[in-house]
């Protein structure tokens, strides 16, 4: 009987927590672009993500994090394998308060979509070059402030696991903002949906390099793209050799 009461109490707390998040989301205008992060909604997003990571049994193994400078906004880039990639990344690097450039559909997700709006996440229209350029400029403005930005040069997730062609224009975000670039290699996120909820998912997040703001300013976007791709391609080769 005690177990039943305990289970009922946990369920009640869970419902109350979700209801609280829902009510908070109602105060966000889903059609508005926010260029500054709300500390309150960022805390809500980070806490809700931590809870989700526990419930989904996602264990993240991080290497190279000591390379990432603290106290300054940075552009985070990497390979894209799963919809879980940005979630895992902003959870691990929560101290950098990363605002991701994301597809418009993500902003329509109940509660979650409004929270990321309030946290300065930006929607990008891949079909309209002019709107895409406007988003790049917006991201540069956000990065020039107090918020780090995350973007995937491939533009979409790779279902095969191999790197897709890069859109090197995303590196202009760092050049315009005068910021450095953190290159991340992620693996294991593509298996999460197959394991939830019965098995733990091990995700590996490796900081391959940090390109300083001085180097970003000096090099062309195409050169930066080649360098980032080379770093991530070497990671792909390591995985294949391990298999």
What are the structure tokens assigned to 88, written together? 């895992």
- What are 20-41's pLDDT values in tens digits? 999 999 999 998 989 899 999 9
The dihedral built from the CA positions of residue 31, 32, 36 and 39, taken in this order, carries a sign that is negative
Taking residues 107-113, what's their average pLDDT? 94
List of domains in the chain:
2-242 (3.40.1130.10)
Taking residues 218-232, what's their average pLDDT? 96
Comparing CA positions, the residue from 149, 127, 154 lying closest to residue 138 is 149
Q: What is the pLDDT of residue 240?
A: 47
pTM: 0.91
pLDDT exceeds 50 at position 241: no
- What are 80-104's pLDDT values in tens digits? 999 999 999 999 999 999 999 999 9
- What are 158-204's pLDDT values in tens digits? 888 889 999 999 999 999 999 999 999 999 999 998 888 788 999 99
pLDDT exceeds 80 at position 121: yes
**Strands 122-123 and 58-63, bridge-based pairing:** unpaired
pLDDT exceeds 70 at position 4: no
What average pLDDT does the structure give for the chain? 91
Taking residues 142-168, what's their average pLDDT? 92
The dihedral built from the CA positions of residue 46, 47, 50 and 55, taken in this order, carries a sign that is negative
The dihedral built from the CA positions of residue 180, 72, 80 and 153, taken in this order, carries a sign that is negative
Taking residues 106-115, what's their average pLDDT? 95
């Amino acid at each position: 009987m005690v177990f039943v009461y305990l289970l009922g109490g946990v369920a009640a707390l869970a419902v109350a927590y979700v209801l609280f998040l829902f009510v908070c989301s109602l105060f966000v205008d889903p059609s508005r672009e926010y260029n500054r992060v709300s500390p309150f909604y960022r805390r809500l997003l980070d806490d809700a993500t931590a809870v989700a990571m526990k419930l989904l049994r996602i264990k993240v193994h991080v290497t190279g994090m000591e390379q990432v400078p603290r106290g300054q906004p940075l552009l985070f880039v990497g390979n894209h394998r799963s919809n879980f990639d940005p979630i895992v990344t902003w959870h691990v690097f929560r101290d950098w308060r990363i605002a991701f450039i994301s597809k418009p559909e993500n902003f329509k997700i109940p509660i979650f979509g409004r929270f990321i709006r309030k946290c300065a996440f930006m929607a990008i229209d891949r079909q309209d070059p002019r709107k895409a350029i406007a988003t790049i400029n917006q991201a540069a403005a956000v990065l020039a402030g107090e918020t780090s930005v995350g973007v995937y040069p491939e533009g979409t997730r790779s279902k095969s696991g191999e790197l897709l062609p890069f859109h090197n224009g995303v590196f202009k975000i760092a050049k315009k903002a005068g910021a450095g670039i953190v290159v991340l290699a992620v693996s294991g996120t593509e298996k999460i949906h197959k394991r939830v909820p019965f098995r733990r998912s091990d995700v590996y997040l490796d900081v391959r390099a940090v390109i300083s703001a001085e180097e970003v300013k000096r090099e062309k976007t195409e050169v930066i793209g080649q360098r980032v791709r080379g770093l991530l391609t070497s990671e792909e080769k390591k995985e294949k050799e391990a298999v």
